[in-house]
Amino acid sequence: MAFGLFLPSALLAQDEAPAEAAARPDSFFPQPPLSPGGAFLRSLVVPGWGQAELGHQTRGALYFFIEAFAIFMVARTKIRLDQAKANEPYNPSLVDSRDQQLEDWAAIAVFTALFSGADAWVSVQLHGFDERTRLGPEGVALGLAFKLPLGP
């Protein structure tokens, strides 16, 4: 009999929310036009695509042109490497130099694609941050300046 006194009663704070309230999207935070993974994959395939979809066309164009230039330089260096290998007399230091240049440009191309994808992923995560916080470039409370003496 005394055991029945210690049974918990229904707790009102643990009631489930109505289904329509749980399914309603949050109206305070603007929803990004694509998912973080989708933005990452788009910018991995074509650097700058994810940024352009989010409304950052200038940054997207910058990534695209850096990637296009790196791919152009990979192709150009490959042609020059093949020419160096076909030259008579064979110059091993020139071939090694061209081979190193090819590796460097390929690394820059891969890095740019990965960095563009990571930037698109972060841009989706921060989508609407300035509207939510009402902070913009003009609302920065801290400034930093320095002077560099160039003359006597």
Residue 148 covered by a domain? no
Q: Which residues contact 47 (CB under 8 A, 6 or more apart)?
A: 63, 64, 66, 67, 112, 113, 116, 117
Residue 42: other Cβ atoms inside 10 A: 22
Name the band, by pLDDT with cuts 50, 70 and 90, for residue 102.
Answer: very high
Distance of CA 139 to the CA centre of its chain: 25
pTM of the model: 0.67
Residue 141 covered by a domain? no
Total domain count for the chain?
1
Residue 71 covered by a domain? yes
Residue 142 covered by a domain? no
How crowded is the C-beta side of 109, counted as CA atoms within 13 Å?
16
pLDDT tens-digit map of 50-80: 999 988 899 999 999 999 999 999 999 999 9
Name the band, by pLDDT with cuts 50, 70 and 90, for residue 42.
Answer: very high
Domain limits at 124? 32-128
Q: For 31, which DSSP code?
A: P
Helices (H), the chain: 19-23, 36-45, 49-53, 57-86, 92-125, 129-133
Distance of CA 67 to the CA centre of its chain: 14
